[in-house]
Structure 1
Amino acid sequence: MPDSTPLPTADALRGLAGGAVHLPGDPLYDEARMPWNLQVDEHPAAVAYPADPQEVARVVRAAAASGLRVAPQGTGHGAPPLAGRLSDAVLLRTSAMTGLVVDGAGRTARAEAGVLWGDVVARAGRVGLAGMHMSSPGVGVIGSSLGGGVSWYSRQHGLQCSAITAVELVLADGTFVRATDDQDADLLWAARGGTGGFGVVTALEFDLLPVRTAYAGMLAWDWQHAGRVLTAWADWTTGAPEAVTSVARIFQVPDDPDLPTDIRGRGMVMIDAVALGDAEAGARAIAALRALGPEIDTFALVPAADLAHLQLDPQEPTAVYANSVLVDGFPADAVEALVAVAGPGSGSQLLFVELRQLGGALRRPAPRGGALDHLPAEFLVLGVGLDVGTGWSAVRADAMRILDSLAPWSSRASYLSMAYEAAARRGFAAAAYDRLLRIRQSVDPDGVFVTPRATPND
């Protein structure tokens, strides 16, 4: 017999959030529901744009009373794990909450839920400070921090989530909490890398770094040199100082007029790096890479704020598939396996394959602790693709070939922020995962909030 249970209704939300609530069929609904990652075409029961914590609380209470769940979302860069899970949920978009305070003397920032990393970088840079931002200035501070946050500063200073000193959030019953190490400490612990799902985070407070400049840039070769360059780079990373963080990429550069003419439309192998300290020390640190004879060399001493634009990541909404694997080492055999499936002649249609250098402070548990306090690997290998007409299944297959090729060297863990399909449990140590589930259950026993990715309790 067909299920005759009535579907939850979102009609009770009309008029909340100053009228910024959009239901299916409303003129602005389709625009409101679209995340930054346009691969996801979700149709939630409603979309709400609250302007402050009070409006958040009203939406959460009304949704729960109507039998609906709530899914907080900032930019929607990490939307794919929510696909297929929002038909009975209110998509609560936090982009209207844009308050940002930078305390130069205290070296701290307080960012509301709609603040982007580009905002923090610019404001902090004016007072000689830097935030541990992501590779694109258009990524939201809250979502990336809750997921961990790997930055150009991570090998010396760890994950961005470990810099969090306070979290403000609205719980499932509509109450507002400011959690610190001294009060509601479990919630602060969960905010440090726990990915969310325990409330609507309306603001974070976190430490900034006293960094004004860095020696940074890109080295690039035609991708025919991928095997030689990546083998030398992997060897170089074993002795690189923690003040240096690098990323190597096999990049099939789009023929886009907004990109530099000397790389546009070409297959390239690139190394981006940031060395904290003066130019002389930075030049010494990358000397072995320069000795490989790059076609392009852009290294210079630059303002710290410029680092947010180093990797040429797209900033406009884009349909993207991404998946990754953590690996414990990158010997010559691993380089050969990777180039075979992603380099010249491979037939791969991925936009790029990225190898992020980890280790250093990222490998050590952070003193403050948190759901995610370190990454147990030396490299993160990320495959990113666009749908170029062959469909997402072909893009996914190319990405999975990357992961499969590196299976002999892979870690059992995953970095969830860059692994769309990984199970939630793989992102945490066993004890941390169990504690995270207990915290979510204690503050949201009725499952009002949609977890960032499916868990056994969903």
Structure 2
Amino acid sequence: MTTMLRSGDPDYDNELAGFQTAVPRRPDVIVPAASAVDVVEAVRHAAEHDLPIAVHSTGHGVGVPFEGGVLVTTHRMTGIRIEDGVARVDAGVRWGAVIEAAAKHGLAPLSGSFPGVGVVGYTLGGGFSLLGRKYGLAADQVTAIEVVTADGELRRATPDTESDLFWALRGGRDNFGIVTALEFRLVPVTRLYGGSLQFGTESLSAVLHAWRDWAADLPREMTSSLGMVPMPDLPMVPEPLRGQHVAQIRIAYLGDAAEGERLVAPLRAAAPLLGDTLAEIPFTESGKIANEPPFPHGYRADNATVSELDDTMLDAILEHAGPGAPVPTVVLLDLLGGALSDLPEHPGVGWDREARFTVRALSVVDDAGMAEIKAAHGKLFDALKPKSTGKLLTFVYGDSGAGDEAAKVYSPADLRRLAEVKAAVDPANRFRLTHNVEPARDAG
């Protein structure tokens, strides 16, 4: 029988720990899975004892708190195989390992800004990549999903077999089972022109407007985002950035470096630079572009997709999430469009592919209480509502409300279809310790 840890066991707290530290969870049982067989046993145990069940690998995207039930951890499942341009990865693999393995084949995955994120959770949420405007969502490249459903069966979902489940998992995340392996296509990328431009507090407004205007007409090979980051006045922060509210423009361009230099010239001219890391780099160094903190911490985040960023919206972002905001807030503006607007052959759960930007807000819970952060974020997103087209579940973190995130994220038609798939594979709603899609009660 698979190992099971209970509260009070020596390894329980270590096994429970993840990157997100602000969402309290206290399962009755933790199952440290090393294989798909272990996952099957854990799910069957939950069914036999009528317990809810959840999963985490790295714990970046932990959504809701819970007590009781079964938690399956998958970080020991680290197999990677690459063949004919397709990667097969086990449930605990992180992007950094895939990036390194793919590079040996002259290929790259559609990974995000931080290589420490787990592949499965990221991809099941859609997967907004550094290469997204050229190649679309990571979920669009998935060819097969191996998943243990609530009946304790290991299934293989593809566009041709278990097609409804294949659709629902790519966007519906962990509502339908525990994914034990993913297969997805890689792309022919080995290098890019990338890095970031950093500007100081006094330049925030000018840089926001310059980036918004610059983003209006770019080739698909250019993916970019803008971060507004309050930097602490502490010795570990590099001197030019220390104590500044930094505007960081992130660049990932798949053309040659000379053309990249020409394209970013208007940004370099927008305001005095505090830092400039733009250069041609191997894709294996793509994590340096955003240079995000690698240590676990507690955070709450929310987001909206928007049809545009007009001057009123930029003013609202500065007011509610800039240097004078009531709680320190990191804001990330992501440019969408390009391949992200294309409908792939086998799309996952729908989102507004006509949206032009995402606006994301993230605050560290150490700096303020969760309720205070939620209120501050609420003011920001209320101000953006007139041009908001939806939100992305993949960027909703740490909200302690039991609430209705699924209803806020999915269209009524998609939510109905998700509920029907849920009724087919998990009629008892065993996988409910997440942003839950409840099974349709009148299905079948």
Per the shorter chain, which TM-score range?
A: over 0.9
1:200-222: per-residue Cα shift (whole Å, max 9, x none)?
Answer: 10000001110011111111111
Counterpart residue type for residue 88 of structure 1: G
User: 1:309-328 to 2 correspondence within 5 Å?
Assistant: 309-328=288-307
Mapped pair 1:426 → 2:408: yes
TM-score (norm 2): 0.93
1:48 match: 31
2:184 match: 206
150 and 136 in structure 1: CA distance in 2 versus 1, 3 angstrom threshold: same
In structure 2, how many angstroms separate the alpha carbons of the residues matched to 1:215 and 1:384?
27
Contact between 1:362 and 1:374, CA under 8 Å: does it hold in 2? no
Counterpart residue type for residue 419 of structure 1: V
254 and 351 in structure 1: CA distance in 2 versus 1, 3 angstrom threshold: farther
Q: Out of 314, 331, 335, which is 2:314 matched to?
A: 335
Q: CA deviation at 1:386?
A: 1.0
Contact between 2:54 and 2:431, CA under 8 Å: does it hold in 1? yes
Contact between 1:158 and 1:374, CA under 8 Å: does it hold in 2? no
Q: Which consecutive residues of structure 2, in runs of 5 or more, have no partner in the other structure?
A: none
Q: CA deviation at 1:395?
A: 2.4
**Count of residue pairs brought into register by the alignment:** 434
Which region of structure 1 is more displaced relative to structure 2, 252-261 or 119-128?
Answer: 252-261
1:177 match: 155
Q: Out of 21, 24, 27, which is 2:7 matched to?
A: 24
Counterpart residue type for residue 169 of structure 1: V
1:6 match: none
Q: CA deviation at 1:249?
A: 1.6
Q: CA deviation at 1:456?
A: 4.2
TM-score (norm 1): 0.90
- Percent of counterpart pairs with the same letter? 34
Look up the SS of the partner of 2:173 in the other structure.
Answer: coil
389 and 229 in structure 1: CA distance in 2 versus 1, 3 angstrom threshold: closer
1:187 match: 165
Which region of structure 1 is more displaced relative to structure 2, 158-167 or 446-455?
Answer: 446-455
Q: Which consecutive residues of structure 1, in runs of 5 or more, have no partner in the other structure?
A: 1-15
Q: CA deviation at 1:441?
A: 1.1
Contact between 2:418 and 2:437, CA under 8 Å: does it hold in 1? no
Contact between 1:350 and 1:398, CA under 8 Å: does it hold in 2? no
1:286-329: per-residue Cα shift (whole Å, max 9, x none)?
Answer: 12212214332211111112112321222221111111111110
Look up the SS of the partner of 2:320 in the other structure.
Answer: helix
Mapped pair 1:151 → 2:129: yes
Contact between 1:241 and 1:285, CA under 8 Å: does it hold in 2? no
Look up the SS of the partner of 1:196 in the other structure.
Answer: helix
Q: Out of 18, 22, 41, which is 1:39 matched to?
A: 22
Counterpart residue type for residue 423 of structure 1: E
1:415 match: 392
Counterpart residue type for residue 428 of structure 1: Y
Contact between 2:226 and 2:250, CA under 8 Å: does it hold in 1? yes
User: 1:264-283 to 2 correspondence within 5 Å?
Assistant: 264-283=242-261
In structure 2, how many angstroms separate the alpha carbons of the residues matched to 1:132 and 1:265?
34
2:53 match: 70
Contact between 1:38 and 1:317, CA under 8 Å: does it hold in 2? yes
Q: Out of 213, 216, 233, which is 2:211 matched to?
A: 233
329 and 389 in structure 1: CA distance in 2 versus 1, 3 angstrom threshold: closer
Cα-Cα RMSD: 1.9
Contact between 1:366 and 1:374, CA under 8 Å: does it hold in 2? no
In structure 2, how many angstroms separate the alpha carbons of the residues matched to 1:362 and 1:177?
29
2:359 match: 381
Look up the SS of the partner of 1:195 in the other structure.
Answer: helix
Contact between 1:213 and 1:277, CA under 8 Å: does it hold in 2? no
In structure 1, how many angstroms separate the alpha carbons of the residues matched to 2:429 and 2:314?
44
Look up the SS of the partner of 1:193 in the other structure.
Answer: helix
1:346-388: per-residue Cα shift (whole Å, max 9, x none)?
Answer: 1443241111111222123222222246644111111111134
